């Protein structure tokens, strides 16, 4: 198998994107979500405590008869209060997850990964996924997460070992405030640590993504053939196009007024048609073998051939087929055409 050492082409990247191969770190999404939820809960917690107190007060002071209908009403009321508590958290998590994914991948809608493939059920491929490099990286990330959580948990307990016994004599509200402060301190540290792990995971995902997209020289050549066409066929097409262009040029040459030569290396045929252009224009040009063919066609069609080396070179290098002569050459061309028209007039008078 050829070594894949070349970076992916834009076409390969586009095809990979259509197949669902997109650079994305799920760890980054999870870490930013955790950080956002912790920050939201820090601001939302007083409201949560207030709503929880209202729930306890509501259930404790319920004065109705306890039957199926009243029980159902209590359940509905408590569920609504719980929804009001949890809705902002879920909404924030959803918005953050969507935003982080969009920032990583851009807007994309892919259906191909959802198509069932029997190759995914192959036990050999499954074993490769279980014991491959990606599985090892995921295991290392999970171990790091467990170590991070364990470290910060032990650190919080160790720093407050003398405080915990004193909580037995404190009021419930004070204990809740103190413990929630410790939990938020630990949550902030864990969220920031997870963000560092996510950044490392993003770098790994980027490396793995680029590695999987690498191409061999043969793949690049094959892609070029598919995009630009087979060089042999393309060469044949260009050859036919040149032949057709040559035939058209030789047909147009028959209507020329004069052919200016070098005398053998260059040949440029001019036509002056005021109904088409306000100045003389080039109907044919060529050098070497094509110049000789232009001379031959001109002789066959009784077109005047004039030798003017500097003018022939200038017209060949500066004027393309179908273009009028530039202003700096117009005087020299006008003198040539004036001579040709006088010569043609004499020819017609002699023939008459």
Q: Which two tokens stand for residue 237?
A: 């097409």
Does this model's pTM top 0.75? My answer is: no
pLDDT of residue 193: 92
- 146 to each of 29, 151, 158, 160, 194, how far by Cα in Å? 18, 8, 18, 21, 11
Is the CB of residue 113 less than 8 Å from the CB of residue 119?
no
| CA 118 centroid distance within chain | 30
Question: What Cα–Cα distance (Å) separates residue 204 from each residue in 3, 99, 198, 313?
Answer: 21, 21, 10, 62
More confident residue, 214 or 52: 214
Confidence tier at 192 by pLDDT (50, 70, 90): very high
Pairing between β-strand 266-271 and β-strand 304-307 as defined by DSSP bridges: unpaired
Count other C-beta atoms under 10 Å from residue 136's C-beta: 10
- Average pLDDT of span 187-207: 91
Q: Element (H or E) spanning 82, and its range?
A: helix 68-105
CATH number of 242-351: 3.40.1690.10
CA distances (Å), origin 170, targets 140, 150, 163, 176, 321: 42, 27, 11, 10, 99
Q: How large is the angle between the packed helices 26-60 and 68-105, nearest 10 degrees?
A: 160
- Dihedral sign from CA coordinates of 253, 258, 264, 268: negative
Residue 233 has pLDDT above 80, yes or no: no
Give the separation between CA 308 and CA 266, rounded to whole angstroms.
10
pLDDT of 116 reads 59
* The predicted structure's pLDDT at residue 229: 59
pLDDT of residue 194: 92
Pairing of strands 304-307, 281-287: unpaired
pLDDT tens digits along 264-323: 788 998 888 878 888 888 888 988 888 888 888 888 888 888 888 888 888 888 888 888
Ranges 90-94, 233-237, 337-341, most confident? 90-94
The residue extents of the domains of the chain are 10-225, 242-351
DSSP structure string for 292-343: HHHHHHHHHTT-EEEE-HHHHHHHHHH--TTPBPPHHHHHHHHHHHHHHHHH
| Reported confidence tier of residue 237, pLDDT bands at 50, 70, 90 | confident
Query: Where does the pLDDT of residue 196 fall: very low under 50, low under 70, confident under 90, or very high at 90 and above?
Result: very high
* Nearest to 179, CA basis, from 58, 49, 52, 60: 49
Q: pLDDT for 69-128, tens place per residue?
A: 777 887 888 888 888 888 888 888 899 888 888 888 877 766 655 555 555 555 655 556
C-alpha–C-alpha distance, residues 1 and 166, integer Å: 70
Neighbours of 198 (CB within 10 A): 23
pLDDT digits (tens, 9 = 90+) for 136-186: 888 888 898 999 999 988 988 888 888 877 777 777 667 777 777 888 888
Q: CA 163 to CA 177: how far, in whole Å?
A: 13
In whole angstroms, give the CA distance from residue 152 to residue 147.
9
Q: Which residue has the higher pLDDT, 348 or 117?
A: 348
Sign of CA dihedral 195, 198, 203, 206: negative
CB 315 within 8 A of CB 329: yes
Give strand pairing partners of 287: 266
Ranges of beta strands (E only) in the chain are 258-261, 266-271, 281-287, 304-307
Q: Between 32 and 55, where is the model more confident? A: 32
Q: What is the pLDDT of residues 34-85, one digit of tens each?
A: 888 888 888 877 777 777 777 777 777 766 666 777 778 878 888 888 888 8
């Amino acid at each position: 198998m050829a070594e894949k050492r070349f970076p992916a082409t834009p076409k390969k990247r586009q095809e990979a994107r259509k197949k669902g191969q997109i650079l994305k770190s799920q760890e980054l999404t999870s870490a930013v979500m955790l950080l956002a939820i912790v920050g939201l809960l820090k601001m939302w917690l007083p409201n949560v405590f207030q709503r929880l107190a209202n729930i306890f007060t509501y259930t404790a002071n319920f004065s109705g008869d306890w039957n199926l209908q009243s029980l159902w009403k209590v359940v509905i009321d408590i569920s609504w209060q719980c929804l009001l508590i949890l809705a902002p958290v879920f909404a924030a998590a959803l918005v953050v997850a969507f935003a982080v994914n969009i920032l990583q991948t851009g807007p994309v809608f892919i259906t191909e990964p959802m198509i069932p493939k029997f190759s995914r059920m192959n036990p050999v491929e499954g074993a490769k996924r279980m014991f491959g490099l990606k599985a090892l990286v995921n295991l290392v990330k999970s171990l790091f997460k467990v170590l991070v959580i364990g470290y910060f948990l032990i650190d919080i307990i160790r720093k407050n070992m003398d405080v915990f016994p004193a909580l037995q004599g404190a009021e419930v509200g004070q204990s809740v405030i103190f413990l929630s402060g410790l939990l938020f301190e630990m949550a902030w540290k864990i969220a920031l640590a997870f963000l560092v792990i996510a950044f490392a995971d993003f770098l790994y995902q980027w490396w793995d993504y680029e590695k999987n997209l690498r191409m061999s020289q043969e793949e690049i050549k094959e892609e070029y053939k598919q995009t630009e066409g087979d060089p042999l066929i393309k060469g044949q097409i260009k050859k036919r196009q040149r032949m057709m262009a040559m035939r058209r040029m030789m047909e147009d040459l028959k209507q020329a007024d004069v052919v200016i030569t070098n005398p053998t290396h260059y040949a440029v045929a001019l036509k002056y048609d005021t109904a088409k252009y306000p100045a003389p224009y080039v109907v044919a040009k060529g050098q070497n073998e094509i110049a000789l063919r232009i001379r031959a066609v001109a002789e066959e069609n009784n077109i005047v051939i004039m030798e003017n080396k500097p003018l022939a070179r200038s017209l060949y290098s500066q004027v393309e087929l179908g273009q009028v002569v530039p202003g700096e050459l117009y005087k020299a061309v006008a003198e040539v055409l004036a001579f040709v028209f006088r010569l043609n007039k004499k020819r017609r008078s002699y023939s008459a």
